A = this chain, B = another copy of it.
């Protein structure tokens, strides 16, 4: 007679050849279920010859539990299980996705409101609207109620200008929220993916995660794919129409790529993607902290490269 051990969300069972239950231990609640391996171990010790229940026979076991009395228990335990799985499914990845989306929205909103304020303040002091390019500085100027003495703008009542200033105040508040959320993003990434953070910075790192749909997938992507994340449209255009292949996607915004000469940017993006791929793997598989090292390595290499090129240029032709 062969005995088999079978475990489901209700309990752990020792079953004989005739699908009869010899011994069983029902789990009292979800907490007990999560300790199921201990129960299995105890049963295996008690029935040393028992095998795990063969997978191909799983359908036959259903008959054992087709009893009405199990139904509500199955239902209840399943809900608990789902709840626990849902709770566990929320990870730092999610916070990063949410924060980077919020930051994108806030950026759009601040621009939109600043443009609106410019149109409005144009009635009062057009020279201020046209003279200050940066939205942030312009908003500050509105709050100081800047206006030149020989302005072409209308002389407005206090209450009319106050409304514009109220809008300016709200724009400043939203910018402050933006900064705060950036700091939060950085703090989450410091825990979740410190290496990626060190090499890519908070914003680009978060966007890479967002595009790759999580740290796990980012860690499993080849470096060449990371290099082109965010350039999907150009890549598919390249594949379908044969236009030139893109050299970088999101990485284009990285300071190292920005600093490089245009002809070198593709190369720098490739080197950067290489390191970022290593970083994502270190972060996902809980390796050490090497992000800063990598970044310095890259910087050194690029500086040496530039120096060499400059030297080469200076050598007079024979």
Residue numbers of A with Cβ under 8 A of B are: 82-83, 86-90, 94-95, 98-99, 101-102, 105, 109, 112-113, 116, 119-120, 123, 150, 152-156, 159-160, 163, 166-167, 170, 173-174, 177, 180-181, 184, 187
Complex: A87 Cα to B154 Cα, angstroms:
4
Is A163's CB under 8 angstroms from B99's CB?
A: yes
| Chain B residues with CB under 8 A of A170 | 173-174, 177
Complex: A126 Cα to B155 Cα, angstroms:
52
Is A123's CB under 8 angstroms from B90's CB?
A: yes
- Main secondary structure, interface of A, reads helix
Complex: A88 Cα to B154 Cα, angstroms:
7
Provided the pairs A123-B94, A160-B95, A174-B170 are in contact, do residues A116 and B87 lie with their beta carbons within 8 angstroms?
A: no
Complex: A156 Cα to B90 Cα, angstroms:
9
Is B155's CB under 8 angstroms from A184's CB?
A: no
Is A116's CB under 8 angstroms from B101's CB?
A: yes
Task: Return the contact of A109 from the options B95, B109, B119, B156 (Cβ within 8 A).
Answer: B109
Is B105's CB under 8 angstroms from A112's CB?
A: yes
Complex: A167 Cα to B101 Cα, angstroms:
12
Closest 7 pairs between A and B when the two form their complex, measured CB to CB: A90-B154, A98-B120, A87-B154, A90-B123, A86-B152, A163-B184, A109-B109
